[in-house]
Amino acid sequence: MFDRIKKAFGKGAKDAQGADGQSPSQLAHGPVSEWAATQGFAFSVSRTGEEIGLEGRVGGKAWRMQLGRPTRNYILGEELRARAELNVRDEVAVLVMNRPLKEALEKKAYSIYTDQMQTSVDASLPEEMRWLAMFEEVGWEGPSEAFWDRFAVLTDRRENAVAWVDDKLAELMVAWPAPAPSAEVPFMVLLLRGKGYLRMEYSPADLSTLRHASRIFTACCESALKNIGQ
């Protein structure tokens, strides 16, 4: 199941563009801008036109979401990423990652560390590999079986994961509207050093994907502010 992600490692940046040389977001600024206006989000386009940005507030905290060229080589096409300065407890660290991505990263890390010809770790490797080494996978009753089939939750303290990934947030992560991303599409949300993050492959490259990703991310922020605290 994780073969598609595994093959993405090492692909060139040219894979991030479509056959016509334009990224999908360049062809859909209008619909995204119109939707953002209905939500009260600020909308912007980069000077090159290759990246769009959304900005909003949740619980009085500012967040920003960007759609554009990927910053990870396991993401094909465009990358959707978000960040919020939540100022919740700095020591809390929880990572939710779809299982195919977790398995592909673990296999990549294993091949690196067991390669007798490799004397140093490639600096270009994603920091997600370090998180997998640092955090333990945890589970608990509450989230649906569909959630646990699709995602792994990793943390250094189980109680923080239970507090953050409440039932509402877990349900949003599996309740994608059609056309929905497959379980293999790279996806993660992270709470680390007081900040909230989202990173995923923009696939399918459809406005419904962007809309639901924004719902998931704002729900992540709301849960952190309510259940983690400062």
CB atoms within 10 A of CB 167: 11
**Which burial class, exposed, middle or buried, applies to 97 when counting CB atoms under 10 A from its CB (0-12, 13-18, 19+)?**
buried
Beta bridge partners of 137: 154
Q: How far apart are CA 33 and CA 96, in angstroms?
A: 29
CB atoms within 10 A of CB 63: 24
What pLDDT was estimated at residue 147?
98
Q: How far apart are CA 149 and CA 164, in angstroms?
A: 19
Question: What's the number of domains the chain is made of?
Answer: 1
What pLDDT was estimated at residue 206?
93
pTM: 0.86
What pLDDT was estimated at residue 157?
96
CB 230 within 8 A of CB 92: no
State the DSSP code for 24: G
CB 51 within 8 A of CB 25: yes
The CA-based angle 149-153-159, given to 5 degrees, is 130
What pLDDT was estimated at residue 14?
43
> Residue 58 is encoded by which pair of tokens?
């949740």
Tens place of pLDDT per residue across the chain (230 aa): 445 555 555 454 344 444 344 555 544 678 899 999 999 999 999 888 889 999 999 999 999 999 999 999 899 999 999 999 999 999 999 999 999 999 999 988 777 766 655 545 455 567 888 899 899 999 999 999 999 999 999 999 999 999 999 999 999 999 999 999 999 999 999 999 999 999 999 999 999 999 999 999 999 999 999 999 77
What pLDDT was estimated at residue 30?
84
What pLDDT was estimated at residue 29?
77
Least Cα distance to 25 among 216, 188, 203 occurs for 203
What pLDDT was estimated at residue 94?
98
What does 56-89 look like in DSSP terms, one character per residue?
EEETTEEEEEEEES-SSTT--S-EEEEEEE----
What pLDDT was estimated at residue 8?
53
State the residue range of the domain holding 201: 3-227
What pLDDT was estimated at residue 19?
39
